[in-house]
Amino acid sequence: MEHFGAIEGLGVGAQGQSYAIPTMSGSVDKIRVYVNNFIHYARMNCTQTFYVTKIGCGRAGYKPEDIAPLFAEAMKLDNVWLPREFVEILENTR
């Protein structure tokens, strides 16, 4: 919030220099929809750089192996930087 303009209480979409992806929605399939929306947004906003955190791997209780595959298409984008663990998982599944 302090460094990238995220807005407390706004858990979905673009805000400041951030993009919120909800992970407490109950299933990986629900998170997939939000990740796909993010990837589309990143494609359309190629002048912005996005540093993705290990979303869902904290309080939501998912493992990187559960979430990383959702970002496979993001690996093709020059403006999206994924966590090292996600990248390693995705590179090992090719």
How many residues are given for the chain? Answer: 94
pLDDT by residue for the chain (94 residues), tens only, comes to 777 777 887 788 998 888 999 998 779 999 999 999 999 999 999 999 999 999 999 999 999 999 999 999 999 999 999 999 999 999 998 7
CA distances for 58 relative to 42, 47, 48, 79, 88, angstroms: 24, 29, 26, 24, 19
Q: Would you list the domain boundaries of the chain?
A: 13-92
What is this structure's pTM?
0.91
